[in-house]
Amino acid sequence: MATKQEKVKMINTLTEFEFIDGFKNRPDNFSYDGLKALFKYYEKLETDTDQRIEFDPIAICCEWEEYKDLDEFNENYSDDYDFETLCEHTQVITVGEDKLIVQKF
């Protein structure tokens, strides 16, 4: 049993709806489709690594950023990445035809 000073860490299994709902206080970070893509990414990551991932919306918002397209990403980074080069430098999740969620680097 944990003492008062020890922190008990519990991992809860979330549905896609619960994952998306967990960002309701952070509505400007990701689009609805972006959150669905992030959920699928983390779901696959858990399956591939056989490890549970703690759901932390604030950490996810600090780690990832959504862009309407590659041009917007390049404007923010003052760079000229093409899609393949960007994928060589960081994790990229595609959302629809143009949107990207990029792991910050």
How far apart (Å, rounded) are the C-alpha atoms in residues 98 and 11? Answer: 33
Kindly indicate the confidence band of residue 100, based on its pLDDT and cuts at 50, 70 and 90. very high
pLDDT, residue 79, reads 86
24-79 pLDDT per residue, tens: 999 899 999 999 999 999 999 999 999 999 999 999 999 999 999 999 999 998 88
The mean per-residue pLDDT over the stretch 83-98 comes to 96
Kindly indicate the confidence band of residue 5, based on its pLDDT and cuts at 50, 70 and 90. low
pLDDT, residue 41, reads 98
- Nearest 10 degrees: CA dihedral of 2, 4, 5, 7? 50
C-alpha torsion sign, points 14, 16, 22, 23: positive
Kindly indicate the confidence band of residue 4, based on its pLDDT and cuts at 50, 70 and 90. low
